[in-house]
Amino acid sequence: MLSSSPRYVSLLAVAALVVAGGSCRKSPTSPPPVPVPGNVNVLRLQTNVPTSIAPGATIRLTATAVKSDGTTEDVTNSTQWSSTNSPVVEISSDGIATGRERGESQVNARYLNISNTTVLMVLPEGTFKLTGLVADSGTPLEDATVTVIAGTGAGQTAVTSFRGFCALYGVAGDVKLEAKKAGYSNLIVEARVVRANQRADFGLALAGGRPNAAGRYDLTVTADPDCAARLPAEARRRTYIATVMQDGVDLSVALTGAEYIVTGGTGDRFPGSVTFDGVRLILMDEAYYYYTGFAIVERFATTAVIVNGLASAAPTSDGYAGRLSGSIGVASRPSFPFYPLSSGCTGQNHGFEMRRQ
Q: How high is the pLDDT of residue 333?
A: 84
Q: Summarize the confidence of residues 23-40 as an average pLDDT.
A: 49
More confident residue, 331 or 20: 331
Residues in contact with 245: Cβ distance below 8 Å, sequence separation at least 6, in sequence order = 214, 251, 252, 253, 254
Question: Does the pLDDT at position 31 exceed 60?
Answer: no
pLDDT-derived band at 291 (thresholds 50, 70, 90) equals very low
Q: How high is the pLDDT of residue 33?
A: 54
Q: What is the pLDDT of the chain when averaged over all its residues?
A: 86
* 8-state DSSP, 142: T
Q: How high is the pLDDT of residue 276?
A: 82
List, in sequence order, the alpha helices (H) in the chain: 11-19
Q: Summarize the confidence of residues 230-246 as an average pLDDT.
A: 96
pLDDT-derived band at 57 (thresholds 50, 70, 90) equals very high
- Nearest 5°: CA angle at 3, between 170 and 107? 50
**Radius of gyration, CA atoms only, the chain:** 24
Domains of the chain: 41-122 (2.60.40.1080), 128-203 (2.60.40.1120), 215-356 (no CATH)
Q: How high is the pLDDT of residue 288?
A: 35
Rounded to a whole number of angstroms, the distance between the first and last alpha carbons of the chain is 43
Count the residues in the chain: 357
Residues in contact with 22: Cβ distance below 8 Å, sequence separation at least 6, in sequence order = none
Q: What is the pLDDT of residues 73-131, one digit of tens each?
A: 999 999 999 999 999 999 998 899 999 999 999 999 999 989 999 999 999 999 999 99
Q: What is the pLDDT of residues 122-170, one digit of tens each?
A: 999 999 999 999 999 888 888 999 999 999 999 999 999 988 999 999 9
Q: How many CB atoms lie within 10 A of CB 87?
A: 11
pLDDT-derived band at 238 (thresholds 50, 70, 90) equals very high
pLDDT-derived band at 233 (thresholds 50, 70, 90) equals very high
Starting at the edge strand that comes first in sequence, how are the strands of the sheet with 89-91 ordered? Answer: 58-60, 96-99, 89-91
Nearest to 321 by CA among 298, 352, 349, 290: 352
| Percent of the chain whose pLDDT exceeds 70 | 87
